[in-house]
Structure 1
Amino acid sequence: MLITMNAAAQLKQFSLEDLNFGGTNYHNMIPEYRNITWWGDELVLRNAEECKLVNKANGKETTLFTEAQLNAWAKTNEDSNILNLGWAQFPYAGKSLVLIANKQERMLIDFKKKAVVWRQASKGQEFADWNNASKAVAYVSDHNLYVMDAEGKTTQLSTDGSREIVYGQAVHRNEFASMKGTFWSPDGTKLAFNRMDQSMVADYPQVNTFEREATYEPDKYPMCGMTSHKVTIGVYDMKTGKTVYLKAGDPTDRYFTNLAWAPDGKKVYMFELNRDQNDCRLTAYDAETGEKTGELYREVDEKYVEPLNPIVFLPWDKSQFIMQSRQDGYNHLYLCTLGMHGSRMASNTKSLEVEQLTEGKWEVLSVLGFNSKTKSIIYKSNEASPIQQNVYSVSVANKKRTRIDEGGKGWHEGSTISASGRYLLDNYQEPTVPRRIVAIDTQTGKSHCILNAKDPWKEKGYNIPEYSCGKLKAADGTTDLYWRMVKPVDFDPNKKYPTVVYVYGGPHAHNVDARWHYSSRSWETYMAQKGYLLFILDNRGSEHRGKDFEQATFRQLGQEEMKDQMKGVEYLKSLPYVDQDRMGVHGWSFGGFMTISLMTNYPDVFKVGVAGGPVIDWKWYEVMYGERYMDTPESNPEGYAKTSLLNKAKDLKGKLQIITGMNDPTVVPQNCLMFLNACSEAGTQPDFFAYPGEGHNMMGHKSVHLHERITQYFEDYLK
């Protein structure tokens, strides 16, 4: 026993500089990674100083070129050296061309001929979107949208761009998977783009306090029930020089999203959604005239429909495309054929035949691409387990599904397929596997391991806690919920430990899956080292478990989630080593909302809480997200009243620290400030800390400071 105790004492202790992403030693503490990309069906390893060809059969690496060589071939000087080989692209299968950039220009360099074969200016271009077919680039400069062709000719597409008239950028506050604002046709000669008029949206009065006299720097922030922006879609034709706008009608209180092009570039498709977000339509427009040519599909729901993926045409059949939908309760793939009559999904649709390709009580999580030879779709799903993500193929002809990844019970997050779809780069983790990367020939089944990362914590001699995972029943008595537990370092089952419940709980996120350490956040390890037990539960309302699972929280955010979290607390209380008198709770954003909800609705359960960036009342949240789950304050006054934490300020008993970024553009500071006001009126005493100039998350080394503060609060009041 003495030997064992001495060995444990000799193990290193973590600091937040080791564990937090803003820490000075963090980069040495994460599992080894390979920055590998596809060059057609070939693999290329991108390092800071060189790019190497990786043999898929044996893993042998052969240098293609170095950074020094590229700079010599490009004849650059110190002020215009290649910026970063980690961003090198190989856009043309079979051609020895690398796309690379410096501060002045982007270049195509032929690394066999050792020469630059094409250059294009890039300085001052924001939101640049380069097309490999035409070599044209769309970009924003001084709020206006421009297109530069392969020869360098520049065309200005807008003149009224401003803070209020936004071109070529993501719209709808990045909801509905809107992450960009320009969309090239397949041949790169036409550009569809967003134009967002937000002149009618109220300014939220953010303030820059870093000036000698604080300055006014407002955000455009449409709150639930208030006036939102208007989006229109333009199409620019490089051949004619003309721009038309899609004739979609009045854009007021409508959302346009997930744009896609027909393979021949003659039509633009998009999903149109009403403001209530319960009526979704797939529509088609003539790219030349802007005229609407048809409504192909319609999906309605008594709660909400949320389009998140554009349609994707089959590479071997221009009359067929893949659509993702939750119309049967789970997100699945549907094969859609143009020009046919009848539809199994929308009786009023006459121009589309729709056939379900995948089905079951699990979800397709993303589509990776296609294998044209086998006429199959490559996708990721959680069919094997709600906490796994695996790679499958499904045959378009017979719907046969085949699992094609290597790992048994892991999360295949970084897995990608080659241009032809024959080869899979399988990048995954398992609870005890930090990272493994394997090249797989899906046709022969042969594979080669490119990386089997070692555990950096064990390698460096750190004292590591125990990570475990299990499931329990939700408050509805039937639904399985998954949890993660991190036990204190040197755990003794005969002791009682202070316990912290970490919570998020909202849509489009989950905490527990089959990644390394069951996806444990490094702060949990830090707390376990200090003698705490951590418990994390994914309640109903979180992602990837089907429509009913997510929509259980509709119009009453926080209510069903709290019931499920309390089932987790009930389980914790059944464990002899959990100190029921020392229970805390912590979360950020939706998790901050959940933290204060739990602290005030169950004031005798939680002694200490730390709530970061919390929503306090959903009437102060933005239109797209807030109204999807809560409807408007006018149509759901009971729901807004029930979920508002202003009314709960009087019920606060334990120690609560609230933390916010003082310039948070996502959960505006008004939430925290009005809760503090409610507490002052009710006579309750929360603590408060604000980070000037920071947004919804603390960036850089301030994240270390943040987690030191969170930790110290539990140390002061819970331990």
Structure 2
Amino acid sequence: MHLNKITVLFLVWSCVVFGQKKITVEEIYSGVYTAKAMDELKSMQNTNHYTVLNFDKNTGSSQIDVYDFGTLKKVTTLIDTKQFKALPKIESYSFDASEKQLLLACNKKQIFRHSFTADYFLFDTATQVLVKLFDFPVQEPTFSPDGKKIAYARENNLYVYDLSSKTTTTITTDGKKNSIINGITDWVYEEEFAFVKAFDWSKDSQIIAYIRFDESQVPEFSMSIFKKDLYPTIETFKYPKAGEKNSEVSLHIYDVNAKSTQKVNLETYSDFYIPRIQWTNDAHVLSAQILNRHQDSLDLLFIDGNSAVAKVVLNEKDKAYVAVTNDLTFLKDNSFIWTSEKDGFNHIYLYDKTGKFKNQVTKGNWEVTKYYGFDAKTNTVFYQSVENSSINKAIYKIGLDGKNKVLLSPKTGANAATFSPNFQYYINTFSTAEQPTRYSLNDSKTGKELQVIENNEALATQLKAYNLPVKEFFVLKTDKGNELNAWIMKPKDFDASKKYPVFMIQYSGPGSQQVVNQWGNSNEYWFMMLAQQGYIVACVDGRGTGFKGANFKKCTQKQLGKFEVEDQIDAAKVIGNYPFVDKTRIGIWGWSYGGFMASNCIMKGNDVFKMAIAVAPVTNWRFYDSVYTERYMQTPQENPRGYDDNSPMNFVQQLKGKFLLIHGSGDDNVHVQNSMQMMEAMIQANIQFDSQIYPDNDHSIRGGKTRMQLYNKMTNFIKENL
């Protein structure tokens, strides 16, 4: 059918005037609704400036620009790739301590979630000289504090490169794929302890401490990689599943001048983790966090850099698990700031240099969600918390003595801060469920907003034509008396006299949060699209989720999927009884842990849920990695019922509704094995279901048109079955 111009104009006009402009999956996943951001924002340490990595679409060049915190005006451009023909697009960067030298990462090749190799260029901002460092890609190159050397990892070994002599010294030689790794974490550490660089320079640039991983006894996992080749290749890597052998870790101290290595004596520990190492302000004292395999006891060690002798300065125990802290901060006298959940909520503590408790800096029935730093001049700590509501985040400052607390963020919603080096200013990143991300310059004494940097007004104006549905936040009380944070999104033409189908979305994993008052990612637009098409979309954070205290979060210990599934079913029953809801048409969706949940809900809640979509789900915790799983479940050998009673594979006979199971065949995190064995269980039970495998896709299932196809498939499944 051919339409003339007048007809087309009328249709466009009537779509906007008489209804909403419709969101489409194609627009969502081609970036039409993407908010502007400040990429690679870094606060400089020696001047009151910050840097941002900018990209010029017209020229295809990338620039590292310097801005003044006080005026927000651009001070200079440190480097622009169009001035250096040999320099590819800059993907990330780091400074030396003087902030005169830059390491530029280009041509990144991803390994796992956080790890990558890249080509690195060294740039001297004073001389404007650019040098490609090596003829090969490396990992995690790091300046020594004096700026004279760079330590880096290559093919599981560690090296030191001297910038003046242009010579390389080898620290380790025994690195071998799937056997020995020096200074870089293994798969499970990277994924679950969220770090890659397992080495650190001492403050005087004389010593490098590093962790060595012996993964030779760790079982291997293999995946077929299909691509478009005649024969698939096999990717094999070490992956410790729950209850299986972990890497044996050891801690080593390398003397740069003597070129000698000592091993730290950790013989009092067995089957343990080293999730963090960090040099203190004493150049010869290294700190290390040592965690037992059950993860319910953590020691903070101080290690003498000369003798490699270790002593315990702090121990934390928990009946469930101890969270590893990223917030360890050493003050001038080597006293230190530490965050802990030991009083039932995550708070900030101060200890002296021997590990003796001095005082609790923050306290109350609320969580500190981010520690930003300490201003030694004013003895002030800056942090983010959920003090004014577990769904909002605010910025505060407080004296190191726990007095004179000040709320700095003036707006209610999601606030995050990047402070200037002298703590005079901060860039506030603010959003709500209805306000796209907004960047402003604020005063750190009062929190007063001084200037708007970016308010994404263009995006907000663009979205007005869509007359988007909004989230209504509330507390849902189940029949069992559990009070759970929730939101509901109704169609804009909502009619209370009608009965609507409900599509529930959730993640539900330990410490997670989906019910939060902030601008969402691309999934949020998909939820809005479904609301535009006549669905009520709802989300409930059940027991086990975060920011409501340790008891709420840790009640799921040893039985993942029990209370969380119970809460989703109970919440669906409450929502189903709303007068405007058709209780026979309730569906549920989730990805990863959320996929595990959606699978369980459609089976254990077969009288409540009509359909479910599970993307990349864990289907039995026996298949998942040791660090994550055992933190909450202990081992399958110790807790077999905890694993089996909540595995959806064991309840396929209860499936009545429509079920769509989706997985990437190249998922190195939640292996496709989970879905394959789930499929086999349903096949042998003669149960009908739908499924989709995405060849070679990892846990994120993206790239090219993949997301468009995936979300169109899920949308069609919802329309056909809900």
Q: TM-score when scaled to structure 1?
A: 0.89
Q: Are 1:153 and 2:167 matched, yes or no?
A: yes
Secondary structure class of the residue paired with 1:276: coil
Instruction: Tell me how far apart the structure 1 counterparts of residues 362 and 426 of structure 2 sit (CA, whole Å).
Output: 21
Q: Are 1:323 and 2:338 matched, yes or no?
A: yes
Aligned to 1:347: none
- Preserved CA contact (<8 Å) 1:13 1:463: no
Show the 5 A alignment for 1:222-261: 222-249=240-267, 252-261=270-279
Aligned to 1:134: 147
Q: Any idea what the Cα deviations from partners look like across 1:140-172, whole Å, max 9, x if unmatched?
A: 222322121332321112212122212222344
Q: Any idea what the Cα deviations from partners look like across 1:240-290, whole Å, max 9, x if unmatched?
A: 222222211276421111212111221111121111222211112112232
- Preserved CA contact (<8 Å) 2:667 2:699: yes
Secondary structure class of the residue paired with 1:47: strand
- Preserved CA contact (<8 Å) 1:272 1:282: yes
Partner amino acid for 2:48?
Answer: D
- Preserved CA contact (<8 Å) 1:434 1:455: no
Secondary structure class of the residue paired with 1:593: helix
Instruction: Tell me how far apart the structure 1 counterparts of residues 246 and 12 of structure 2 sit (CA, whole Å).
Output: 67
Q: Any idea what the Cα deviations from partners look like across 1:101-155, whole Å, max 9, x if unmatched?
A: 6676533333xx5633987447421233334533432222223221213323211
Change (3 A) 1:571 1:474: closer
Q: Are 1:505 and 2:508 matched, yes or no?
A: yes
Secondary structure class of the residue paired with 2:436: strand
Alpha-carbon shift at residue 441 of structure 1 (Å): 2.7
Partner amino acid for 1:14?
Answer: I
Alpha-carbon shift at residue 481 of structure 1 (Å): 1.8
Instruction: Tell me how far apart the structure 2 counterparts of residues 276 and 445 of structure 1 sit (CA, whole Å).
Output: 42
Secondary structure class of the residue paired with 2:390: coil
Alpha-carbon shift at residue 572 of structure 1 (Å): 1.3
Q: Are 1:633 and 2:601 matched, yes or no?
A: no
Show the 5 A alignment for 1:185-224: 185-210=202-227, 211-224=229-242
Q: Determine which of 422, 427, 430 is the counterpart of 1:428.
A: 430
Alpha-carbon shift at residue 100 of structure 1 (Å): 4.3
Aligned to 1:343: none
Change (3 A) 1:100 1:680: closer
How many residues were matched structurally? 684
Secondary structure class of the residue paired with 2:415: coil
Alpha-carbon shift at residue 513 of structure 1 (Å): 1.0
Secondary structure class of the residue paired with 2:334: strand
Which stretch has the larger CA shift, 11-20 or 442-451?
442-451
Which stretch has the larger CA shift, 443-452 or 663-672?
443-452
Which stretch has the larger CA shift, 628-637 or 563-572?
563-572
Alpha-carbon shift at residue 334 of structure 1 (Å): 0.8
Aligned to 1:31: 35
Show the 5 A alignment for 1:518-557: 521-557=524-560
Unaligned runs of 5+ in 1: 340-350
Instruction: Tell me how far apart the structure 2 counterparts of residues 517 and 155 of structure 1 sit (CA, whole Å).
Output: 47
Instruction: Tell me how far apart the structure 1 counterparts of residues 101 and 208 of structure 2 sit (CA, whole Å).
Output: 24
Q: Any idea what the Cα deviations from partners look like across 1:501-537, whole Å, max 9, x if unmatched?
A: 1121011421111112699622212222222211111
Q: Determine which of 268, 281, 285 is the counterpart of 2:299.
A: 281
Aligned to 1:15: 24
Aligned to 1:346: none
Change (3 A) 1:143 1:50: closer
Instruction: Tell me how far apart the structure 1 counterparts of residues 572 and 120 of structure 2 sit (CA, whole Å).
Output: 57
Alpha-carbon shift at residue 7 of structure 1 (Å): 3.9
Show the 5 A alignment for 1:34-433: 34-35=38-39, 36-39=41-44, 40-48=47-55, 49-50=62-63, 52-64=65-77, 67=80, 72=83, 76=84, 78=85, 80-81=86-87, 83-84=89-90, 87=92, 100=104, 105-110=120-125, 115-116=128-129, 120-121=133-134, 123-131=136-144, 133-151=146-164, 152-163=166-177, 164-171=179-186, 172-173=188-189, 174-210=191-227, 211-249=229-267, 252-292=270-310, 294-309=311-326, 311-314=328-331, 317-339=332-354, 352-406=356-410, 408-413=411-416, 415-433=417-435
Q: Any idea what the Cα deviations from partners look like across 1:474-493, whole Å, max 9, x if unmatched?
A: 56525x32112222243333
Change (3 A) 1:679 1:154: same
- Preserved CA contact (<8 Å) 2:220 2:239: yes
Alpha-carbon shift at residue 430 of structure 1 (Å): 2.0
Partner amino acid for 1:387?
Answer: I
Change (3 A) 1:440 1:679: same
Alpha-carbon shift at residue 547 of structure 1 (Å): 1.1
- Preserved CA contact (<8 Å) 1:473 1:567: no
Partner amino acid for 2:129?
Answer: V
- Preserved CA contact (<8 Å) 1:474 1:539: no
Aligned to 2:712: 708
RMSD: 2.7
- Preserved CA contact (<8 Å) 2:103 2:120: no
Q: Any idea what the Cα deviations from partners look like across 1:590-649, whole Å, max 9, x if unmatched?
A: 111100111000112111111111111111111111111111122112222211222201
Change (3 A) 1:514 1:124: same
Aligned to 2:110: none
Secondary structure class of the residue paired with 1:639: helix
Instruction: Tell me how far apart the structure 1 counterparts of residues 237 and 64 of structure 2 sit (CA, whole Å).
Output: 42
Secondary structure class of the residue paired with 1:643: coil
Secondary structure class of the residue paired with 2:572: helix
Q: Determine which of 666, 669, 687 is the counterpart of 2:669.
A: 666
Secondary structure class of the residue paired with 2:396: strand
- Preserved CA contact (<8 Å) 1:372 1:420: no
- Preserved CA contact (<8 Å) 2:427 2:439: yes
Partner amino acid for 1:161?
Answer: G
Instruction: Tell me how far apart the structure 1 counterparts of residues 521 and 391 of structure 2 sit (CA, whole Å).
Output: 9
Partner amino acid for 2:170?
Answer: Q
